[in-house]
């Protein structure tokens, strides 16, 4: 289930061990200049036999983004700020064609019950939108992200 969830969230940019990876997620827009992506460290933590937490956080990863994105300091998970891996990114990121979003914190709490699986989703994301970006567009990007998580029910049914 964890592997399926990670593939749903994006592609694996680096694997440290089965429970600790870096993922990349992309968001397409009708306006080419509004394309977004993020890299996040994803960690699976078994809290008990029935409870698991999947946590994603961004750090100041060097993904060779063409220098158009700001230096990032995670305001929620301060320990992430010391993690600065070097990511071998795709050409469009290296050319600075995409804007980088930042995941302050995304957490899935997964709890298995006899008749169902309950999932609690918590997130804080910095869309890193240009100052001229209309608030309605930023909301659409974030709502699209949340709507993607509704599709998780298919993963947990199996």
Q: Which two tokens stand for residue 93?
A: 């990121």
Per-residue model confidence (pLDDT) at position 51: 96
Per-residue model confidence (pLDDT) at position 79: 94
Per-residue pLDDT of the chain (158 residues; tens, 9 = 90+): 455 555 566 788 899 998 999 999 887 776 666 788 999 999 999 999 999 999 999 999 999 887 777 789 999 999 999 999 999 999 999 998 888 889 999 998 989 999 888 888 898 988 887 666 667 766 776 677 666 666 666 666 65
Angstrom distances, CA of residue 81 to CA of 6, 61, 71, 84, 98: 22, 9, 11, 7, 22
Please tell me the distance from the alpha carbon of residue 77 to that of residue 113, in angstroms, as a whole number.
Answer: 30
Domain boundaries of the chain, sorted by first residue:
2-157
Per-residue model confidence (pLDDT) at position 148: 67
pTM higher than 0.85, yes or no?
A: no
Query: End-to-end CA distance of the chain, in Å?
Result: 8
Per-residue model confidence (pLDDT) at position 102: 93
Please write down the HEC assignment for all residues of 131-144. Answer: CCCCHHHHHHHHHH
Residue pair 104/75 in contact (Cβ under 8 Å)? The answer is: yes
Per-residue model confidence (pLDDT) at position 3: 53
Q: Which fold has domain 2-157?
A: Alpha-D-Glucose-1,6-Bisphosphate; Chain A, domain 4 (3.30.530)
Per-residue model confidence (pLDDT) at position 38: 92
Range list of β-strands (E), 2-158: 11-17, 20-27, 36-46, 51-57, 99-100, 102-112, 117-126
Sign of the Cα pseudo-torsion (12, 14, 15, 16, in order): negative
Q: Quickly count: other Cβ atoms within 10 Å of residue 9's Cβ.
A: 21
Per-residue model confidence (pLDDT) at position 66: 79
């Amino acid at each position: 289930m964890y592997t399926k969830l990670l593939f749903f969230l994006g592609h694996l940019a680096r694997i440290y061990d089965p429970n600790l990876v870096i993922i990349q997620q992309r968001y397409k827009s009708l306006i080419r200049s509004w394309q977004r992506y993020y890299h996040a460290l994803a960690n699976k933590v078994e809290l008990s036999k029935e409870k698991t937490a999947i946590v994603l956080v961004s750090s100041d990863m060097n993904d060779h983004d063409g220098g158009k994105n700001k230096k990032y300091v995670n305001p929620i998970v301060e320990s992430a700020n010391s993690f600065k891996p070097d990511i071998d990114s795709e050409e469009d990121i290296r050319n600075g064609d995409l804007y980088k979003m930042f995941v302050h914190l995304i957490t899935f709490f997964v709890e298995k019950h006899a008749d169902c699986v309950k999932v609690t989703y918590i997130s804080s994301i910095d869309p890193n939108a240009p100052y001229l970006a209309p608030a309605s567009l930023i909301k659409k990007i974030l709502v699209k992200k949340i709507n993607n998580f509704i599709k998780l029910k298919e993963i947990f049914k199996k």
